[in-house]
Amino acid sequence: EVQLVESGGGLVQPGGSLRLSCAASGFSFTNYAMSWVRQGPGKGLEWVSGISDSGGTSYYADSVKGRFTISRDNSKNTLHLQMNSLRAEDTAVYYCAKNPYGSGSQWFDPWGQGTLVTVSS
Q: Do residues 21 and 6 touch, judged by C-beta distance below 8 A?
A: yes
List Cβ neighbours of 76 (8 Å cut-off, separation of 6 or more).
none
Nearer to another protein, 16 or 104 (CB): 104
Give the interface segment with another protein, choosing from 8-16, 41-49, 70-78, 81-89 (CB under 8 A): 41-49
Specify the stretch interacting with another protein by CB under 8 A; choose among 17-25, 66-74, 79-87, 109-117: 109-117
- Letters for 60-99 (x = contact with another protein by CB under 8 A, - = none) are -xx--------------------------------x----
Among 118, 39, 121, 115, which Cα is nearest to 81's? Answer: 115
C-alpha 72/C-alpha 67 separation (Å) is 17
Using an 8 Å Cβ cutoff, are 23 and 95 in contact?
no
- Interaction site with another protein (CB under 8 A): 44-47, 50, 59, 61-62, 95, 100, 104-114
